[in-house]
Amino acid sequence: MTTHTQTFTEVFGTDWPDPLCRGIPLNFREQFFPLGTVVEIQSNHKTVLETARLSFGRYGDPPPRSEPEFLIQLCVDPERHDDPSRVVPRYRALSHLFHIGCGEASFAVADLTKDLAIGFISSEIAHDTSFFRYVFLECLFHVLAVHRNHTPVHCACVALDGQGALICGPSGAGKTTLAYACIKAGLQFVSDDTVHLRRNPGDDKLLLWGNPWTLRLLPDATGIFPELRGKEMKPRNGHPKCLEIDVSRHFSEKALISCRPAVLIFLQRDPATCQGLRPLPKDAALRHLSENIVLDEEAVVRRHQEVLQRLVAAETYQLNYSGSPSNAVEWVHGLLQPHCSQSVTLK
């Protein structure tokens, strides 16, 4: 993918009126490798690249001399202003265009047919690192990746010896609570909310990618895990405050970027139901997963369905539990153990 960021002055040798800010040079640029995909970020301001390193830098460097699959150009507008604490992002799509609107000064558009996203953001938005990461940078990348070659699954994910257990269920079912209990017991952590699946070009098998560096728990988790009491709670994108756990800091070497999906576990938390684990029919698992497919072009939706059909070829279970997740952790470990090359004991 080639890019063109010359100003009108450089091209024509004279100054031209530029009311659309078309000629602002994007001199800051860097390539990243999130979800096994090469993406190039370009901007006129170093803050954008610094934030991109926080979002994508931990995935490692792209392969040498690789061409970017996606290009994201975000220009910090020096003349317009927004208050991040008072704006609500709005997302819309029409045909092949995806749009983010945020206040009066900040917006972005992704052209899904060109693997390209462009946008202008206020300085205030750019310097609100958490807001800018989740609302703009990571959102634009994921929209491009999901349209082109990745399939998202709403779940938490833990792993044992590189074999993943996808913990699925509706919001509030306790996915992240169980994931946290699992990594406390010694399992690897892949994601607390969403994973992205892609066929591995090398062997055409499914490979699962996560975001394993931060785990977010609802405040009521302090009633289950006493060590979390007194920790600072942070809001995220207008959602209620939550507890953010730095996984790489508190659970050294437990963060895992990608793994093979081995087991799907659908949580059912009902105090009136007896705790236990039972097989879940493949068609029921597929129906649950398909509910989260977002409307897109027919070919893209069909690709998602094909990936999910391959995913449910793995073992699928329903797990009923309430109260302490300790028993559930033992069940997750027991399901993963047969898929591992070596025996791994829980703490």
Q: What is the pLDDT of residue 172?
A: 79
CB 119 within 8 A of CB 108: yes
Reported CATH class of domain 151-339: alpha beta
Cα–Cα distance between 78 and 57 in angstroms, integer?
A: 26
Give me the pLDDT at residue 220, please: 82
Domain chopping of the chain, boundaries: 8-148, 151-339
Q: What pLDDT does 9 receive?
A: 57
Low-confidence residues of the chain: pLDDT under 70: 1-14, 235-240, 271-273, 342-345, 347
1-12 pLDDT, tens digit per residue, is 444 455 555 665
Residues 6+ apart with CB under 8 A from 80: 104, 105, 106, 120, 122
166-203 residue pLDDT tens: 999 988 788 999 999 999 999 999 999 999 999 887 78
Q: What is the pLDDT of residue 324?
A: 78
Report the distance separating Cα 127 and Cα 84, nearest Å. 9
Tell me the CA distances in angstroms from 72 to 209, 248, 253, 268, one per residue in order: 21, 28, 31, 40
pLDDT at residue 19, as a whole number: 74
SS (H, E, C) 157-195: EEEECCEEEEEECCCCCCHHHHHHHHHHCCCEEEECCEE
Indicate the SS3 state at residue 142. helix
Which amino acid does the sequence have at 57? Answer: G
pLDDT at 206: 92
Q: What is the pLDDT of residue 243?
A: 84
Q: What are phi and psi of 146, to 5 degrees?
A: -65, -35
d(CA 263, CA 311): 9
